[in-house]
Amino acid sequence: MSKIKPLRDFVIEMTRWVEIENDESNLLGHGQSLLKNLVSDDCWLPDIYANPDPKNYRQNLLWCDPLERFSLVSFVWGPGQVTPIHDHTVWGLVGILRGSEVNQNYSITSDQKLEQIDEETLNPGMVASVSPTIGDIHKVSNGVPDQTSISIHLYGANIGALCRHSFDPETGATEEFISGYSNLTTPNLFDCSSDEHTR
Ligand code: FE
């Protein structure tokens, strides 16, 4: 049985921060330390939000702030699965829970072409950030060839409802998309029966 308390604690703390803070760099800082803490212990993600789909990576909504000030998503990567090159249009943080993830970052040149800036391999406990101000375009793939990898993504909006862009790797041409979510239900944060000290 997964212990839901770390997820509930994360949502409570993040809700407190978005109540009092709207500066992007401060939210990235607070979000980073909370997300680092959340992915440091792989005990809380219910199995139904951790199962891969053989066809496509899954984007499971774990929580969306009712005022859409942040959302939290489990990305589940089967072997060989990869995103298109895409942007986010809001700040975001990627924390690795299981396996590993390869993150290729891009920028747009003055003649509107895509240029890869760097590539990083993220392992469990590591957190990477994106935003329109610090660099918002990347491509993400499962870093483990024969296993499922899972990352937990925190965004500064209801990410599944935003109109964003994917990029053609050759021409840099953009296409709009709205990702939606893969799951139909979210975890029950209010069942305290798996807490160590129940009320
Ligand atoms: Fe992304």
- Give the angle subtended at the CA of 101 by the CAs of 156 and 165, to the nearest 5°: 45
CA of 178 to the centre of ligand 1 (A): 13
Query: Among residues of the chain, what percentage have pLDDT more than 70?
Result: 98
Range 99-106 average pLDDT: 97
Q: Would you place residue 79 in the very low, low, confident or very high pLDDT band (cuts 50, 70, 90)?
A: very high
Cα(111) to ligand 1 centroid in Å equals: 23
Q: Output the pLDDT for position 197.
A: 67
Least confident window among 26-30, 119-123, 192-196: 192-196
Distance 131 CA to ligand 1 centre (A): 10
Q: What is the dihedral of CA 116, 34, 39, 92, to 10 degrees?
A: -30
Give pTM, 2 decimals: 0.95
Q: Bigger pLDDT: 143 or 110?
A: 143
Q: Quote the distance between the C-alpha of residue 109 and its chain's center.
A: 26
Q: How many CB atoms lie under 10 A from the CB of residue 192?
A: 12
Of 142, 184, 136, 160, nearest to 57 (Cα)? Answer: 142
Distance 174 CA to ligand 1 centre (A): 15
Distance from residue 181's CA to the centre of ligand 1 (Å): 14
Is the pLDDT at 198 greater than 90? The verdict is no
Distance 193 CA to ligand 1 centre (A): 34
| Backbone angles phi and psi of 23, in degrees to 5 | -80, 125
Burial class (CB in 10 A: 0-12, 13-18, 19+), 24: middle
pLDDT at position 2 over 80: no
Distance from residue 4's CA to the centre of ligand 1 (Å): 25
Confidence check: pLDDT of 199 > 90: no
How far, in Å, from the CA of 198 to the mean position of ligand 1? 37
Give the distance from CA 157 to its chain's centroid: 12
Q: Is 67 exposed, middle or buried (0-12, 13-18, 19+ CB in 10 A)?
A: exposed
The per-residue pLDDT for range 49-64, each reduced to its tens digit, is 999 999 999 999 999 9
For residues 73 and 78, give the distance between their C-alpha atoms in angstroms, rounded to a whole number. 16
Confidence (pLDDT) at 1: 65
- Taking only the tens place, the pLDDT of each residue in 112-136 is 889 999 999 999 999 999 999 999 9
Helices 24-39 + 5-20 axis angle, to 10: 170
pLDDT, tens digit (0-9, with 9 covering 90-100), for 153-170 = 999 999 999 999 999 998
Q: Positive or negative CA dihedral for 71, 122, 141, 146?
A: negative
Task: State the distance from the centre of ligand 1 to the C-alpha of 81, rounded, in angstroms.
Answer: 13
